[in-house]
């Protein structure tokens, strides 16, 4: 009998799988690593790209009211003064006077150091933005920041996009890109790092329609995680109370995921009102208002923001998909990723390395590579090859066997059910495309 032996993944097991199978490595590992930055390996980069593509298509290709941009990471330093990040983007922080450890004040219970019991300093404000210098002179006038969010690149380009795209409100601007925060306590693998990637969309609306669009985007974004294959029972809503709201937000809801280390934020949906455009308008003197030529009204658009993390979404996919089972007395580790985002969609195997099977398999492989990211393997017993693909998360394995040589059919083995069905080689692209399903 088959039996599930591990329902809940531990982070240790997942981190070890990610290293073993080429998903995620610690940055600069051979130098001892930088704890707060991560490198994505051959499998990780595919999964990450697929998640980004899935978001990008949902936000742009499948819609008629959103444009994309890709703004620079380095922006005019005054942007961050206007946005409130220079003054407000701070976390209270305490230091241990004895062992010199540093903690977020919010994380500490009691008044002693959790490491050594030593005395703690009073909380001090610590700005989370990374600073660097632009140009050869390292003085205060040359300071620039690594953006802590991608959103500001969208606000400052509002008019640039509005003009050429000839959009009317309501419409949105989407962007995927790196963001940097000098987090005081990074951790939980790729959940909180100092360099990460955001998928953000800013939707510009009439002031009186903000609530309507806020509700609309809440629903859209929740459904996106379901379409990505995340189990609904692992997703939660969290409404920000008055003391949690960011300086720019009128209302905010987070979509949270039940990670092994607790229920934590995946994405925020924020009603940012006219805060950002008004502030940029006042700071620059550039008129960022919108004129509605039907109603003849002029107003500063209000903004509904959806702000998600690529790395956190990837972690949720990995956690959600990981399972261990017992199959005929042996442990089977499966990464049950949705076929839409799985790094390798199809593996192609000759059953054995003789009788002309590898030649046919190579040809099938070359044909399928025109449609999907594939993997070819002819080494070791076929059962072991299947297990390897289960662990990497490959949803389908195509095997060329002796019957193939007679009737030009192959088996497709399903990762989750382990069942096999026979199809004609000529039907493979179509059958597999149907099994993978639409990626929009
Ligand atoms: P948290 O409370 O967890 O620090 P936040 O509320 O500061 O997150 P936002 O400013 O709303 O996060 O950023 C939007 C999204 O960017 C988050 O939902 C998350 O997915 C991602 N994100 C933010 N900070 C990090 C980080 N340090 N590492 C990875 N992803 C992050």
Q: Could you report the per-residue pLDDT of 230-274, keeping only the tens digit for each?
A: 999 999 999 999 888 887 788 999 999 999 999 999 999 999 999
Mutate to test the pocket of ligand 1, among 268, 303, 311 (most ligand atoms within 8 A of CB): 268
| Ligand 1 atom, smallest distance to 183 CA | 27
CA nearest 432: which of 408, 410, 401? Answer: 410
pLDDT at position 183 over 80: yes
Q: Could you report the per-residue pLDDT of 407-436, keeping only the tens digit for each?
A: 999 999 999 999 999 999 999 999 999 999
Looking at residue 95, what is its pLDDT? 87
pLDDT level of residue 49 (50, 70, 90 thresholds):
very high
Mean pLDDT of all residues belonging to the chain: 94
Q: Where are the domains of the chain?
A: 3-75+148-318, 344-436
C-beta of 270 in contact with ligand 1 (< 6 A): no
Helical packing angle, 42-56 and 310-321, nearest 10°: 110
- Residue 403, classed as helix, strand or coil, is helix
| Among protein residues, the one whose CA lies closest to atom 25 of ligand 1 | 192
Section 141-148 average pLDDT: 96
| Among protein residues, the one whose CA lies closest to atom 1 of ligand 1 | 265
Looking at residue 7, what is its pLDDT? 59
Q: Which residues fall within 8 angstroms of residue 62, CB to CB, at 6 or more apart?
A: 440
Q: Could you report the per-residue pLDDT of 1-39, keeping only the tens digit for each?
A: 345 555 568 999 999 999 999 999 999 999 999 868 999
Instruction: Give pTM, 2 decimals.
Output: 0.93
CA nearest 432: which of 358, 368, 377? Answer: 368
Looking at residue 105, what is its pLDDT? 86
| Ligand 1 atom, smallest distance to 309 CA | 20
| Ligand 1 atom, smallest distance to 267 CA | 18
| Among protein residues, the one whose CA lies closest to atom 3 of ligand 1 | 265
Q: What is 3-75+148-318's CATH number, 3.40.50.1980, 3.30.930.10, 3.20.20.70, 3.20.20.10?
A: 3.30.930.10
Fold classification of 344-436 is: Rossmann fold (3.40.50)
Helical packing angle, 357-368 and 428-436, nearest 10°: 50
CA nearest 240: which of 232, 251, 229, 225? Answer: 251
Looking at residue 277, what is its pLDDT? 97
Residue 301 DSSP symbol: P
Which residue in the block uniquely carries the two structure tokens 């700005």? Answer: 127
């Amino acid at each position: 009998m088959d039996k599930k032996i591990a329902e809940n993944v531990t982070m240790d097991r997942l981190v070890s799988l990610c290293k073993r199978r080429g998903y995620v490595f610690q940055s600069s590992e051979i130098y001892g690593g930088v704890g707060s930055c991560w490198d994505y390996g051959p499998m990780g980069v595919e999964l990450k790209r697929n998640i980004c593509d899935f978001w990008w298509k949902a936000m742009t290709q499948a819609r008629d009211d959103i444009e994309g941009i890709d703004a620079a990471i380095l922006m005019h330093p005054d942007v961050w003064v206007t946005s409130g990040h220079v003054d407000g983007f701070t976390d209270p922080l305490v230091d241990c006077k004895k062992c010199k450890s540093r903690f977020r004040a919010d994380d500490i219970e009691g008044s002693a150091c959790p490491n050594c019991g030593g005395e703690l300093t009073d909380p001090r404000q610590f700005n989370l933005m990374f600073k660097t210098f632009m140009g050869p002179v390292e003085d205060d006038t040359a300071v620039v920041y690594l953006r802590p969010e991608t959103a500001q690149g969208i606000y400052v380009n509002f008019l640039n996009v509005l003009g050429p795209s000839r959009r009317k409100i309501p419409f949105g601007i989407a962007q995927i890109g790196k963001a940097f925060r000098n987090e005081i306590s990074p951790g939980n693998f790729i959940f909180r790092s100092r360099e990460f990637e955001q998928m953000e969309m800013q939707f510009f609306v009439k002031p009186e329609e903000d609530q309507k669009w806020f509700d609309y985007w809440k629903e859209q974004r929740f459904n996106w995680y379901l379409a990505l294959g995340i189990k609904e029972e692992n997703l939660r809503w969290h409404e920000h109370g008055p003391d949690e709201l960011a300086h720019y937000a009128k209302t905010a809801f987070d979509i949270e995921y039940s990670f092994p280390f607790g229920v934590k934020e995946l994405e925020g949906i924020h009603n940012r009102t006219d805060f950002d455009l008004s502030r940029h308008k006042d700071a620059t003197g550039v008129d960022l208002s919108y004129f509605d030529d039907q109603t003849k009204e002029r107003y500063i658009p209000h903004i509904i923001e959806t702000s998600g993390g690529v790395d956190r979404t990837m972690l949720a996919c990995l956690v959600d998909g990981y399972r261990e089972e017992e199959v005929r007395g042996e442990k089977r580790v499966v990464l049950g990723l949705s076929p839409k985002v799985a790094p390798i969609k199809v593996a192609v195997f000759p059953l054995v390395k003789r009788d002309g099977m590898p030649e046919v398999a190579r040809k099938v492989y070359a044909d399928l590579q025109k449609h999907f990211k594939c993997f070819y393997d002819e080494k070791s017993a076929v059962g072991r090859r299947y297990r390897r693909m289960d662990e990497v998360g490959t949803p389908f394995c195509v095997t060329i066997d002796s019957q193939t040589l007679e009737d030009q059919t192959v088996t497709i083995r399903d990762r989750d059910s382990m069942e096999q069905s026979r199809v004609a080689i000529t039907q493979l692209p179509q059958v597999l495309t149907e099994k993978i399903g639409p990626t929009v």
